[in-house]
Structure 1
Amino acid sequence: MVFFLIAAYYMPAEDTGVIFQPADQVAMTVIGAFVAGGLLLMARPRVRADSHGIEVRNVITARWYDWADVHGVSFPDGAASARLELPDDEYQSVLAVQDVDRGLAVRHVRTLRTLHRAAVLGE
């Protein structure tokens, strides 16, 4: 965002043969706001789980699943993120638990599996 604001501010000062208007400066600022907003969306994923179910919030959507509706929590080989196994061979990606987190991702998947097992088996 800062880059776009600086570029918009210095636009008319440069002698490039092109005449920049105030509308061009405003457009550059708006483009910067959209780029910044898009980048902030990547920080949005979250997962919350308790004894009743799990809430998965990815980039755009958030969804609540009861543990009874979840068949399992998996992290397939080569996958970028964990996922919830759902009925009818469907699954929900859990973008908050990614392979780049390495040991932390393993710990989170184990915790989710423990919560799932306790809820399903009534432990």
Structure 2
Amino acid sequence: MSDLPALPVTFRPRHTRVVLLAAGAAIFAVITTVAFLLDQLSPGERLSFVFTGAILFAVLALLARVKVVADESGVTVVNIVSRRRLDWAEIVQVNLRPGDPWVFLNLSDGTSLPVLGIQPGIAREHAIADARALRALADARCARDPEPPRG
């Protein structure tokens, strides 16, 4: 099992993160610059421009925070506004089907959890490799009973 990544490992959409944070910083800088270049604005109006730029940056930073952290005891899924800790035994299957916007984890309680930290948007091959690595880690750490035959 030498092809498994060393734990702990963090999966995140690096290109998307860079684009979102750079766009957020640029938007904040432009809005702040405009606020101070417009002489007819009052101090309160300037402050509202800066505040709006900060809010836009914060929203893009929230979108950029998505990740999956795998360690010896399980997986932490950090999505836009939520964080969920899972034991390895809770993960039944790791899915990234063609056309999926991100990985989905099928869980032992019958639910499915979206994992925005692995998304094939900008870097498809990287996301596929990350999904395979997470699947291999889950398979290596979970003893699963074979499914009973259907019939």
What SS is found at the alignment partner of 1:71? strand
1:52 alignment partner, one of 73, 79, 104: 73
Deviation at 1:33, TM superposition (A): 0.7
Q: Report the equivalent of 1:6.
A: 33
What SS is found at the alignment partner of 1:65? strand
Rounded to whole Å, the distance in 2 between the matches of 1:87 and 1:119 is 14
The CA deviation string for residues 46-101 of structure 1, in whole angstroms up to 9 with x for no partner, is 11113421111111111110111111100133211001111343111111111122
Q: How many residues align?
A: 116
Deviation at 1:31, TM superposition (A): 0.7
2:58 alignment partner, one of 23, 37, 49: 37
RCO higher in 1 or 2 (8 Å CA, sep ≥ 6)?
2
What SS is found at the alignment partner of 1:96? coil
One-letter amino acid matched to 2:143: L
What SS is found at the alignment partner of 1:99? coil
Identity across the alignment (%): 28
Q: Report the TM-score when normalising by structure 1.
A: 0.85
Deviation at 1:36, TM superposition (A): 1.0
Where do 4+ consecutive residues of structure 1 move more than 4 Å? none
1:94 alignment partner, one of 92, 115, 118: 115
Q: Which has the larger radius of gyration?
A: 1
Deviation at 1:109, TM superposition (A): 1.1
Q: Report the equivalent of 1:17.
A: none
- State the Cα RMSD in Å: 1.7
Q: Report the equivalent of 2:140.
A: 118
One-letter amino acid matched to 1:37: A
Q: Where in structure 1 are there 5+ consecutive unaligned residues?
A: 14-19
**Alignment pair present for 1:104 and 2:126:** yes
Rounded to whole Å, the distance in 1 between the matches of 2:139 and 2:110 is 19
Rounded to whole Å, the distance in 2 between the matches of 1:117 and 1:23 is 57
Deviation at 1:29, TM superposition (A): 0.9
